[in-house]
Amino acid sequence: MYRILFLNKKDCSDFFSEVRNKLNIQNWKKVGEFIGTNKSMIDNYKQRKICLPENRFEKMLNLLDENRKKYFLELIEKRDNNWGQVIGGKNAYSINKKEFDKGRKKAARIRKKQVKYNFDINMPLSNELCEFIGVFIGDGFTNKYGNLYHVEITGDRNLDLDYYNNQLKLICQKLFNINPHIYERKGYVRFILYSKRLFEMLTKRFSIPTGVKCYKIVIPEEILKAEKKFLNSTLKGMFNTDGGIGFDRRKSYKKPYIRVNYTSASEKLIKQLHEILLKYSIKHSIHKKKNMNNEKVVYMIQINGTENVKKFILKIGFSNNRHLNKIKNFL
């Protein structure tokens, strides 16, 4: 029996949410009972820690209408018990032969057109490279599917698409000679680069883990030891995507009270950021909370008030228009 791997964490989460809605239940434990497992295993499947057995996947898939079946079948890969890549498979293939054939042809075209990008993995650090690394720390993941090396950054379609198109894309073209594939989905956007060299740069040079990394990601040691300007560019990339700006407009404040925040599931990353902000004399607070589904802990750095936010902007700042437009009047 094969095992099912969703190529993207967001797609995996969407699939499980749709199944839960179809079952008309809010309890993940009940979803586990439906496919013959427990809540802990459901959590592992949702977070892509463990591949989903084919029989359980098909039981959930059959709850959906034909259009949604087709949609999710395009977002998976099949693996055998030895983890050799398997595209398609008897059971899922029989569900929708046309869509699987379409997916195979698409993958073949990508492999055929793939360029052997020839850039120096050990290129000197630059502000642009470090900004890319910062974005990847927050929203990226890598994996290898057969001979296809997959580097992906996933963001909010409404908030990040402009930054991906007008900033991040140009960085990739300049540094790596890669023209990224940008796919818009409902509510989110996928920024994908197919490159073995980039995969090796991220995983070997910068020691960023493959697959699900959100709990263990840290700022690479090479950047921490480099000139301060490179660390600042890395932080800028992090705050460009996983950062936010808010204004408290309660009457208790004479004017809107500004806050800048950064959220991560990695406690180590938050501790690194805390130590850096202390060195920069930027006062801040750390908050620990559970996400919307009350399933996992996330951590948030919050920089409060005009004086501290101005220090942050002078030291680190933003290059994402959605943030720049918010602070335009503030500055």
The CATH number that applies at residue 163 is 3.10.28.10
Tell the residue number behind the tokens 């693996």, with chain if given: 79
Please state the three-class secondary structure of the chain as a single string.
Answer: CCEEEECCHHHHHHHHHHHHHHHCCCCHHHHHHHHCCCHHHHHHHHCCCCCEEHHHHHHHHCCCCHHHHHHHHCCEEEECCCCCEECCCHHHHHHCHHHHHHHHHHHHHHHHHCCCCCCCCCCCCCHHHHHHHHHHHHHEEEEEECCEEEEEEEEEHHHHHHHHHHHHHHHHHHHHCCCCEEEEECCEEEEEEECHHHHHHHHHHCCCCCCCCCCCCCCCHHHHHCCHHHHHHHHHHHHHHHEEEEEECCCCCCCCEEEEEEEECCHHHHHHHHHHHHHCCCCCEEEEEECCCCCCEEEEEEEECHHHHHHHHHHCCCCCHHHHHHHCCCC
Domain shared by 139 and 77, yes or no? no
For residue 120, being part of any structural domain is answered with no
Cα–Cα distance for residue pair 52/61, rounded to 1 Å = 12
Domain shared by 86 and 150, yes or no? no
Count, residues in the chain:
331
Q: What are phi and psi of 129, to 5 degrees?
A: -60, -45
| pLDDT bucket at 89, cuts 50 / 70 / 90 | very low
Domain shared by 97 and 187, yes or no? no
Q: Is the pLDDT of residue 117 over 90?
A: no
Domain shared by 89 and 134, yes or no? no
Name the residue among 183, 109, 121, 116 with its Cα closest to residue 152: 183
Domain shared by 229 and 207, yes or no? no
pLDDT tens track for 224-247: 999 999 999 999 999 999 999 999
The reported pTM is: 0.65
Domain shared by 8 and 72, yes or no? yes
Domain shared by 259 and 161, yes or no? no
Domain end call among 57, 84, 113: 113
Instruction: Give the per-residue pLDDT at 111.
Output: 52
Q: Is the distance from CB of 262 to CB of 239 less than 8 angstroms? A: yes
Domain end call among 188, 213, 238: 213
Domain end call among 213, 236, 262: 213
pLDDT tens track for 310-329: 999 999 999 999 899 888 87
Instruction: Give the per-residue pLDDT at 12.
Output: 92
Which range marks the domain in which residue 108 is found? 3-113
Domain shared by 70 and 28, yes or no? yes
Instruction: Give the per-residue pLDDT at 40.
Output: 86
Domain total in the chain: 3
Cα–Cα distance for residue pair 115/16, rounded to 1 Å = 35
pLDDT tens track for 200-217: 999 999 999 988 777 889
For residue 219, being part of any structural domain is answered with no
Mean pLDDT across 63-74: 84
Give all strands of the β-sheet with 297-304 in edge-to-edge order. Answer: 243-248, 257-264, 297-304, 285-290
Instruction: Give the per-residue pLDDT at 109.
Output: 61
Q: Give the N- to C-terminal CA distance of the chain in Å, as an integer.
A: 59
Domain shared by 108 and 165, yes or no? no
More confident residue, 180 or 78: 180
For residue 230, being part of any structural domain is answered with yes
Instruction: Give the per-residue pLDDT at 52.
Output: 87
Domain shared by 90 and 151, yes or no? no
For residue 55, being part of any structural domain is answered with yes
For residue 121, being part of any structural domain is answered with no
Tell the residue number behind the tokens 């407009």, with chain if given: 249
Domain shared by 255 and 289, yes or no? yes
For residue 43, being part of any structural domain is answered with yes
Domain shared by 62 and 144, yes or no? no
Mean pLDDT of the chain: 86
For residue 218, being part of any structural domain is answered with no
More confident residue, 84 or 224: 224
For residue 220, being part of any structural domain is answered with no
Q: Is the distance from CB of 164 to CB of 157 less than 8 angstroms? A: no
| pLDDT bucket at 97, cuts 50 / 70 / 90 | low
Instruction: Give the per-residue pLDDT at 7.
Output: 86
